[in-house]
Amino acid sequence: MVVSKGSTPLQALGYYIPFITSFINNMRKIEREMIQAIIDRRDWRKANTEVEIYPSFAMIMLHGHEIGKYYFKDSTLLITNCGYETNTTKSRLNALINLSHGGLVGVVQRNFNWFIRYHFNGSYRLFDWDGGWLNVEPSWLASGLA
């Protein structure tokens, strides 16, 4: 498991350890480090990805473009692709989504179009997404408000 020296124990932050371990171990190293920086609430930068910590949220940037905001108090996540529909952008966004919502929500691409995939009762539903700012909230998606 990825835990930095001096970091707050994950249990104290309300995370269920086996879940965190399984999803962190299945992503790219740069994404594991990005997630760990958010969990540790510390500024971090590597290659094309950056995390800036503010008192109430973490801002995540890719190539200097803001692609996500993660709010610490209620684990609210806002995402955008900034008009860059690349595999790297999608991968970073899915890593962020996994932090706040596990595997229930994800960004997928079908026939060059991007969608938000919401898992519900063993199946999933796709919602059109134009890449603009989106509050990734499963209850909104479940009710069809996306």
pLDDT tens for each residue of 81-120: 999 999 999 999 999 998 887 777 889 999 889 999 888 7
Task: Give the HSE-up count for residue 49: Cα atoms under 13 Å, Cβ half-sphere.
Answer: 22
Whether 24 is in a domain gets the answer: yes
Residue 145 amino acid letter? L
Whether 120 is in a domain gets the answer: no
Which domain does 97 fall in, by range?
10-105+131-137
Query: Average model confidence (pLDDT) for the chain?
Result: 82
* Residue 63 reports pLDDT greater than 80: yes
* Residue 140 reports pLDDT greater than 60: no
- Segment 20-38 shows an average pLDDT of 76
Whether 119 is in a domain gets the answer: no
d(CA 70, CA 93): 11
Whether 115 is in a domain gets the answer: no
What total of structural domains would you count in the chain? 1
d(CA 138, CA 123): 14
Confidence of residue 53 (pLDDT cuts 50, 70, 90): very high
Of the two residues 66 and 144, the one the predictor is more confident about is 66
Confidence of residue 18 (pLDDT cuts 50, 70, 90): very low
Helix, strand or coil, per DSSP, at residue 53:
strand
d(CA 45, CA 49): 6
d(CA 29, CA 134): 26
CB 127 within 8 A of CB 134: no
